Amino acid sequence: LARAGLVLPDDMAGQTFSVTTLGASGVDFFTPIINPPNVGILGVGGVRDGVAWEGDRPVRTSVMTLSLTIDHRAVDGAPAAAFLGTVRDLLESPYRLMS
């Protein structure tokens, strides 16, 4: 609906948090801007190849950048960081969502 220009301001009323991505446009990292009345927005970058180490052996892996912007008048930084850590953990081990 948004791409077709059919989302009206009333359709967005009442939300407090948004998720946005520029990954499909080839962007790995960006800083999303909070749109009122939201108090936070999660930016999801593109997935790219990376390297992780298992012991002394390099292993090919996928890397995706997340960026969290919050309004510190409504949310303290420590709980926001804990939230972002939980999102990261669930993305790294999605089977946990099923248990």
Catalytic residue list: 72, 76
- Candidates 36, 30, 40, 25; CA nearest to 71 is 40
CB 39 within 8 A of CB 83: no
Q: Tell me how far apart the alpha carbons of residues 77 and 16 are, in angstroms, rounded to a whole number.
A: 16
